[in-house]
Chains A and B, each alone.
Chain A
Amino acid sequence: MDMFWVFVEKELKSIVRDPKIVIAMFIVPLIIIIIFYAIVGHGIQQQIAQAVKESGTVAVIDLDNDIHSRNFISFLRQLGVDVRLLDENLHTNISKALEVSGTKILYIIPMGFSKNITNFSITSIKIYVKLGSLTIGESGIIDLATRLVERFNENITITIASEKGIPAEFIKNAIVRRPYAVIYNRVIENPYALSTLLSLSSFFIPLIVLMLIMLASQLIVTSIAVEKEEKMFETLLSLPINRMNIISAKLFVSISISVVYMIIYGLALFGYIFQILGIGIDVGSLEMPQMLSLLILQKDLAISLILNTIGLAIFMLMISLILGVFAEDVRTAQALIGNIMGPLVLLAYMPMFVDISGANQLQRMLLSLIPIANTVFIPKLAIVNDLTSMYMAALSNIIYGIILFLFIQRIVNSETIFTMKLKRLKKQKIGET
């Protein structure tokens, strides 16, 4: 059997039998993830609340100016929405219309709207939603803007059906909703797809990868520290084996277990977040945007995201390896990784709510070099069309990871791996504070 697999077998046996590793596998990640989910959930709820608040004012360009268009405006006002009527001429310049109104939602009611409804013909309302910060909360605005039209559609259907004495199903979908997103003066069709892209690429994917890394990091530092605690480390260093085999076996086992965990916790996250997204919008049941998965990701963005997340995983695991190699015992290792992971999670959490549209090229390039944070920035950089920064973000984590790997390889094959101990440093730090 190859030495790598000898260590893999040993690792699996230890993991199954050692309560310390079981704690690292189940309890510590569970606590971290509960706290993390709570923070993220709270952030999203606040964002949605803010989005709902911002949606309290909408702009309307009424090209129809007839009974049912006026009904629509009255309907909105009855719901408590502040409606700003704009000049008809602005309908050719959507960006300007949104700028003039200062709102995030613009409805354009076409000519013949009322006539079509009266004649039981299909008509439409164009819905423009201005996206700026490209945060997950903004996807709530798209839903809300669409939902208001849908509610009006239901309302008018019931009214006309009862007036004319015909079944409601007959005129059920009289008003077609045509939603568009307006981003940096560009009008984009299918905002649901955009919202899905934003949710997937700037939130769910990094979050799930981060979970994988957190679990794998916990396992890797614990399993290396166990070697020291069980006093096998010195023996291992004298054996006729490639020392990197030990490290790679530990990495392999940790990542494999974490992938299983990632799937479980990832599914839990999806359920939890979707539940949160339904909170705060009281305009009927929420129909979630169709999950179009990665198919909607453009090729460059998808490649950048894949490279970046691979780099992120390498970078974080290398940090964990360094901590594990230098930590003197399991408690020190777990404390160290806990102390490191907290700020790192913030690095992933903060950019989800950061608007980079106002940043200049240099600022965006600097942001793209921040490890972990750059994973969340990538889709935002793609949308503002800053491909240079996007590619920098894609590759920077891999470069950091390789630098750390070379550093680890160097110390693993030197006496530093044996002589350097982080316990003393930790004690000093505690003493200082």
Chain B
Amino acid sequence: MSKEIVSVDNLTKIYPGGVKGADGVTFTVRKGEVFGLIGPNGAGKTTVLRIIATILQPSSGKVTVAGYDVVKEADMVRKMISYLPEDAGAYKYLTGLEFMKFIARLYSFKESDIEKIVREGIQVSGLGERLKDKIKSYSKGMLRRLLVARTLMVNPMLAILDEPTSGLDVINAMQIRNTIKSYTRERGVTILMSSHNMLEVEYLCDRIGIIYRGRMLAIGEPRELKELYGAQNLEEVFVKLIESASY
């Protein structure tokens, strides 16, 4: 658990118009751990995840994934990661199975590998026969399960999940949490995720980083942070940190 998969060092992102999406953010994600970024809306979680996923570029600072620079070696980074955006979709006129095959073919040319990846996806999604239906007929929860499966089935070195259960009902959210939990245990995949849900973070994450107005306020294990701030739960820790940062 000691090797760093992600290293974010003094990351700053300034959008056109001067809005700061990240302001000197520094943290690391260790191999095999589930790291959660938590913070209110507009705190900068998605900005940080998008930079690590090579979609946005930092204004300053250095970000590496498995030692590869996300700007200079973006192609290598993309081979290491699998990213699930918060507002992700899928080709609704393909079936779930066709969609998985399409993604699998982007990761391997070998038919045997493609079949293996798709088998993994079928298992992770838990959608069974519904995978033969067009995606446009899926509920929001089913679509999210398909997308989580799409992200994990390629067995990435780092899976980046932006709000993986956002907007889902309790049952679907719980199924997705369980999927993530079991998959990381079985495969040892490193996960970097963001969430609003403190219970989810406490359930899934080995360590968390609390981000607010683009700045990282605290990093640690949920238990450590609760002790440090004398809080009953992570929500209290979160509120205390936000309040102190606001003054």
Identify the A interface with B (CB < 8 A): 1-3, 6, 9-10, 13-14, 17-18, 230-232, 234-235, 237-241, 414-415, 418-419
Contact = CB atoms under 8 A, between A and B. Distances in A.
B170 to A, nearest CB: 24
B102 A234 contact: no
A230 B78 contact: no
Interface stretch (B25-33, B90-98, B193-201): B90-98
Given A1-B109, A415-B56, A240 B78 contact: yes
Given A238-B83, A240-B78, A415-B57, A6 B89 contact: no
A14 B134 CA distance: 11
Interface string B59-91: 000000000000000010011011111011111
Contact of B94 (A14, A234, A415): A14
Contacts of B106: 3, 6, 239-241
A1 B91 CA distance: 20
B18 interface: no
A204 to B, nearest CB: 37
Interface string B99-140: 000110111010000000000000000000000001000000
Interface of B: 15-16, 50, 53-57, 75, 78-79, 81-85, 87-94, 98, 102-103, 105-107, 109, 134, 160
| Most chain B beta carbons < 10 A, residue from A17, A231, A235 | A235
B109 A13 contact: no
Contacts, number: 77
9 contacts: A13-B93, A14-B91, A14-B93, A231-B90, A237-B54, A238-B82, A239-B78, A239-B103, A240-B107
Contacts of A419: 15-16, 56
A415 B53 CA distance: 11
A235 B91 contact: no
A239 B102 CA distance: 12
A238 B88 contact: no
A362 B57 CA distance: 47
Contacts of A9: 102
A69 B181 CA distance: 104
A245 to B, nearest CB: 9
